[in-house]
């Protein structure tokens, strides 16, 4: 177990911020990034490329001052609204007087290999054959990741679980140490599959090989002591608040985004965890309250995150912490955010923002662009210019700073309700949008969004023609794995939100509340079902999503809907239209991932879609 003590220092938000003077280390790290070159975005480029910039996005971050191993730590947390800024300030205020301690488990993550049998034959003989050779299998798996083993990590255990007659899963755990772990786990899953196949009886075969986003074996636990005289009714407030877990989940997501982590993986892990576990627990210690929170943390301090210059600089400034150390800081911020949600020690006045600095602004007279061609839209909106990327913008709020930029991409030629659409994506890496764009080539999409006083009802259907019955069978077997096994379903749904969330972000909607509400519709006491339901049709497959989302889950960011470049490019005429398009993107992304898993596997069949095409900002 790793232990830290996290206590914030006072006065951070009282530091004077003199106009455009770059006075924070976060801002200094940001200025090291080179601005993109201004180029023209043509129709041909938009149709051919998966990633192309039509505006410049920004993440504004409010540093959260904590103590990590006695060193001052300012953790960037992505800010999407003035409420986020107020919350960050409140967390800092709370942590001046509330001591927090933390522990972390090992960084164990799960991988899975689906086993199927057409005859539903005796499973036990295959199970005994595999488990009797467990030591050899672990050695073989570790041979696939020698550098991780040399660092002290690697395969820890293997088990075989019968899901239903004719379907089982070989599940293994890997200590990924300071890595996030998905590529490592997928490599082991795909490398172990042939060895497992050789030990199965003739009518059992390996199928899906993939990681699981169930991170229940990789958690941090943090404790905070609160004075009863100051917070006399804390226990009642926490127990009676229905949205504390949402606040915690959203805070973890924003911390991941602020540090260039996979925040959708964190969303999936948090949603599954809180469907079967308690949130903040308050114990009466006579003289004080003891608040305790356990939460999964899916973040790696090595590997991919260092591809982002600002995040690389952040990790160096933080003293190059281990993943578990940084995870405890994340957990501390999440606990304080949950407490702040019910305590609200200070309030920051709301400041309306008419536009988002760094993005081109659409004139009020140019909003309805649905009937115009892509080249006409781009001609009206103009190409991105270097002037949009300024690192001397005044701060929106005291203590809020620019940390990173996100490009805007386009998924071209998606046929929705008989109309060709170009869906905007806000991307944090080149992979986003690639899978959905690939799936859209063969898809016919229909969506109906109904609205009442309190909610949106979304009924979306994607029909896809598939040539051979064998392809359909393989796809449906892979889907049934998610339909029958929670630890696979949560990853399947994460792939769905890989498509939904970037569309919402690009159009100025904070996806956190939407994602949480959608997860609630398929989670129950630790059990998870797929959001996108697939079935076989006469000429292929059909994916359907039926979900009701409360209007309170559609929360605008600082962006004003009337002034978003990418919203106009897609031709959104209403929030209903936006929600329908985002769900379609989610189904397409889900289909592409399942198709890859049913074929060559995620590394060979899905990851090539993520290769960076020649980009208009490269």
pLDDT digits (tens, 9 = 90+) for 178-187: 999 999 999 9
pLDDT > 70: percent of the chain: 70
> What pTM, to 2 d.p., does this model score?
0.83
Residue 274 inside a domain? The answer is: yes
The pLDDT of residue 604: 62
User: Is residue 128 domain-shared with residue 242, that is, in the same domain?
Assistant: no
Nearest alpha carbon to residue 251 among 463, 102, 477, 87: 87
CA distance 351 to 397: 9
Please identify, among 296, 313, 343, the residue that sits at the C-terminal boundary of a domain: 343
Higher per-residue confidence, 202 vs 172: 172
pLDDT band per the 50, 70, 90 thresholds, residue 468: confident
pLDDT band per the 50, 70, 90 thresholds, residue 6: very low
- Distance (Å) of CA 132 to CA 128, 129, 136, 278: 6, 5, 9, 37
Q: Which residues pair with 71 in a beta bridge?
A: 68
Q: Which residues contact 282 (CB under 8 A, 6 or more apart)?
A: 234, 235, 238, 239, 289, 290, 291, 292
- pLDDT digits 0-9 by tens, 322-347: 999 999 999 999 999 999 999 865 44
User: Is residue 458 domain-shared with residue 553, that is, in the same domain?
Assistant: yes
Number of folded domains that form the chain? 3
Is the Cα torsion angle 228, 231, 233, 238 positive or negative in sign? negative
CATH of the domain at 229: 3.90.770.10
User: Is residue 272 domain-shared with residue 314, that is, in the same domain?
Assistant: yes
Please identify, among 212, 240, 273, the residue that sits at the C-terminal boundary of a domain: 212
The secondary structure of residue 603, as a DSSP letter, is I
Annotate 73-138 with three-state secondary structure.
EEECCEECCHHHHHHHHHHHHHHCCCCEEEEECCCEEEEEEEEEECCCCCCHHHHHHHHCCHHHHH
Pair of tokens at residue 210? 């993939």
Nearest alpha carbon to residue 544 among 561, 558, 532, 559: 532
Higher per-residue confidence, 68 vs 240: 240
The pLDDT of residue 571: 66
Nearest alpha carbon to residue 281 among 234, 337, 328, 214: 234
Helices (H), 485-618: 486-506, 511-520, 565-570, 575-598
CA distance 574 to 509: 13
User: Is residue 82 domain-shared with residue 137, that is, in the same domain?
Assistant: no
Residue 10 inside a domain? The answer is: yes
Pair of tokens at residue 57? 């996005």
The SS3 assignment for 424 reads strand
Task: Give the mean pLDDT of the chain.
Answer: 76
Q: What is the DSSP string of 243-305?
A: THHHHHHHHHHHHHHHTT--HHHHHHHHHHHHHHS-S-EEEE-SSEEEEEEEEE----SSSGG
The secondary structure of residue 24, as a DSSP letter, is S
Please identify, among 314, 343, 372, the residue that sits at the C-terminal boundary of a domain: 343
Q: What angle do CA 512, 223, 294 make, to 5 degrees?
A: 45
The pLDDT of residue 68: 52
The pLDDT of residue 252: 95
User: Is residue 152 domain-shared with residue 68, that is, in the same domain?
Assistant: no
CA distance 237 to 240: 5
Q: Which of 81-85, 209-213, 428-432, 455-459 has the lowest mean pLDDT?
A: 428-432
Contact 166, 196 (CB under 8 A): no
The SS3 assignment for 6 reads strand
Residue 272 inside a domain? The answer is: yes
Largest CA-CA distance found in the chain, in angstroms, rounded: 74
Please compute the mean of the pLDDT values over residues 521-526 and round it to a whole number. 93
Contact 8, 92 (CB under 8 A): yes
- pLDDT digits 0-9 by tens, 138-161: 999 999 999 999 999 999 999 999
The pLDDT of residue 161: 92
Cα-trace Rg, the chain: 24
Residue 42 inside a domain? The answer is: no
Count other Cβ atoms within 10 Å, centred on residue 191. 16
User: Is residue 207 domain-shared with residue 225, that is, in the same domain?
Assistant: no
Nearest alpha carbon to residue 182 among 481, 483, 610, 592: 610
Pair of tokens at residue 385? 């210019």
**Domain of 329, in residue numbers:** 2-16+63-105+218-343
The pLDDT of residue 387: 30
User: Is residue 91 domain-shared with residue 117, that is, in the same domain?
Assistant: no
Please compute the mean of the pLDDT values over residues 541-557 and round it to a whole number. 91
| pLDDT exceeds cutoff 90 at 167 | yes
CA distance 13 to 78: 17
Residue 309 inside a domain? The answer is: yes
Residue 537 inside a domain? The answer is: yes
The pLDDT of residue 206: 93
User: Is residue 142 domain-shared with residue 273, that is, in the same domain?
Assistant: no
User: Is residue 576 domain-shared with residue 510, that is, in the same domain?
Assistant: yes
Q: Which residues contact 511 (CB under 8 A, 6 or more apart)?
A: 497, 500, 501, 504, 505
User: Is residue 182 domain-shared with residue 293, that is, in the same domain?
Assistant: no
The pLDDT of residue 298: 96
Residue 115 inside a domain? The answer is: yes
CATH of the domain at 180: 3.30.70.420
- pLDDT digits 0-9 by tens, 95-110: 777 888 889 999 999 9
The pLDDT of residue 287: 87
pLDDT band per the 50, 70, 90 thresholds, residue 115: very high
Please compute the mean of the pLDDT values over residues 438-453 and round it to a whole number. 90
| pLDDT exceeds cutoff 60 at 541 | yes
User: Is residue 503 domain-shared with residue 575, that is, in the same domain?
Assistant: yes
- pLDDT digits 0-9 by tens, 575-614: 888 899 999 999 999 998 898 898 877 666 555 544 433 2
pLDDT band per the 50, 70, 90 thresholds, residue 291: very high
- Distance (Å) of CA 610 to CA 284, 437, 444, 590: 51, 11, 23, 15
The pLDDT of residue 493: 97
Count other Cβ atoms within 10 Å, centred on residue 525. 7
Residue 382 inside a domain? The answer is: no
The pLDDT of residue 33: 33
The pLDDT of residue 422: 78
User: Is residue 468 domain-shared with residue 568, that is, in the same domain?
Assistant: yes
The pLDDT of residue 611: 41
- pLDDT digits 0-9 by tens, 8-33: 222 222 222 222 222 222 222 333 33
Bridge-based pairing state of the strands 108-117 and 204-212: antiparallel
pLDDT band per the 50, 70, 90 thresholds, residue 558: low
pLDDT > 90: percent of the chain: 43
């Amino acid at each position: 177990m790793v232990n830290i003590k996290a206590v914030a220092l006072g006065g951070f938000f009282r530091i004077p911020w003199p106009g455009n003077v770059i006075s924070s280390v976060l801002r200094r790290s940001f200025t090291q990034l080179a601005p993109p070159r201004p180029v023209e975005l043509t129709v041909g480029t938009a149709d051919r490329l998966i990633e192309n910039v039509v505006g410049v996005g920004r993440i504004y971050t409010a540093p959260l001052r904590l103590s990590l191993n006695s060193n001052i730590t300012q953790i960037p947390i992505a800010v999407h609204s003035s409420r986020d800024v107020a919350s960050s300030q409140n967390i800092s205020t709370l942590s001046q007087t509330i001591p927090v301690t933390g522990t972390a488990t090992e960084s164990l993550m799960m991988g899975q290999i689906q086993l199927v049998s057409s005859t539903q034959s005796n499973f036990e003989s295959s199970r005994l054959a595999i488990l009797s050779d467990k030591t050899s299998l672990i050695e073989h798996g570790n041979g696939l990741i020698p550098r991780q083993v040399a660092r002290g990590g690697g395969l820890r255990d293997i088990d075989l679980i019968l899901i239903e007659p004719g379907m089982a899963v070989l599940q293994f755990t890997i200590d990924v140490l300071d890595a996030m772990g998905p590529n490592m786990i997928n490599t082991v899953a795909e490398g172990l599959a042939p060895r497992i196949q050789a030990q199965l009886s003739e009518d059992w075969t390996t199928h899906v090989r993939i990681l699981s986003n169930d991170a229940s074996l990789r958690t941090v636990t943090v404790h905070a002591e609160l004075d009863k005289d100051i917070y006399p009714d804390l226990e009642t407030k926490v127990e009676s608040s229905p949205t504390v877990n949402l606040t915690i989940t959203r805070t973890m997501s924003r911390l991941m985004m602020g540090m260039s982590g996979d925040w959708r993986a964190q969303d999936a892990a948090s949603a599954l965890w809180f469907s079967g576990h308690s949130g903040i627990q308050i114990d009466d210690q006579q003289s004080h309250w003891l608040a305790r929170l356990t939460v999964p943390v899916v973040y790696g301090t090595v590997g991919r995150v260092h591809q982002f210059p600002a995040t690389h600089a952040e990790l160096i400034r933080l003293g190059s912490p281990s993943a578990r150390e940084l995870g405890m800081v994340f957990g501390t911020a999440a606990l304080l955010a949950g407490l702040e949600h019910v305590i609200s020690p200070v309030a920051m006045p709301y400041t309306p923002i008419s536009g988002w600095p760094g993005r081109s602004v659409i004139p009020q007279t140019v909003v309805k662009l649905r009937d115009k061609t892509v080249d006409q839209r781009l001609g009206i909106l103009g190409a991105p210019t270097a002037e949009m990327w300024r690192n001397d913008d005044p701060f929106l709020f005291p203590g809020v700073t620019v940390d990173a930029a996100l490009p805007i991409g386009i998924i071209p030629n998606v046929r929705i309700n008989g109309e060709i659409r170009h869906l905007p994506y806000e991307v944090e890496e080149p992979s986003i949008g690639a899978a959905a764009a690939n799936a859209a080539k063969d898809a016919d999409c229909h969506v109906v969004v109904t609205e009442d006083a309190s909610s949106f009802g979304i009924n979306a259907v994607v029909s896809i023609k598939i040539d051979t019955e064998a392809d359909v069978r393989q796809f449906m077997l892979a889907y049934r794995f998610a339909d029958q096994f929670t630890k696979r379903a949560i990853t399947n749904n994460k792939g769905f939100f890989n498509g939904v969330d970037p569309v919402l972000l690009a159009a100025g909607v904070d996806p956190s509340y939407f994602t949480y509400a959608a997860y609630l519709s398929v989670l129950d006491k630790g059990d998870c079902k797929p959001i996108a339901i697939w079935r076989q049709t006469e000429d292929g497959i059909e994916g359907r999503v039926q979900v009701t989302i409360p209007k309170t889950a559609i929360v605008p960011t600082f962006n004003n809907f009337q002034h978003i470049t990418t919203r106009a490019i897609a031709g959104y005429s209403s929030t209903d239209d936006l929600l329908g398009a985002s769900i379609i993107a989610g189904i397409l992304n889900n289909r592409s991932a399942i198709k890859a898993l049913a074929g060559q596997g995620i590394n060979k069949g899905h990851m090539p879609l993520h290769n960076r095409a020649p980009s208009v900002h490269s």
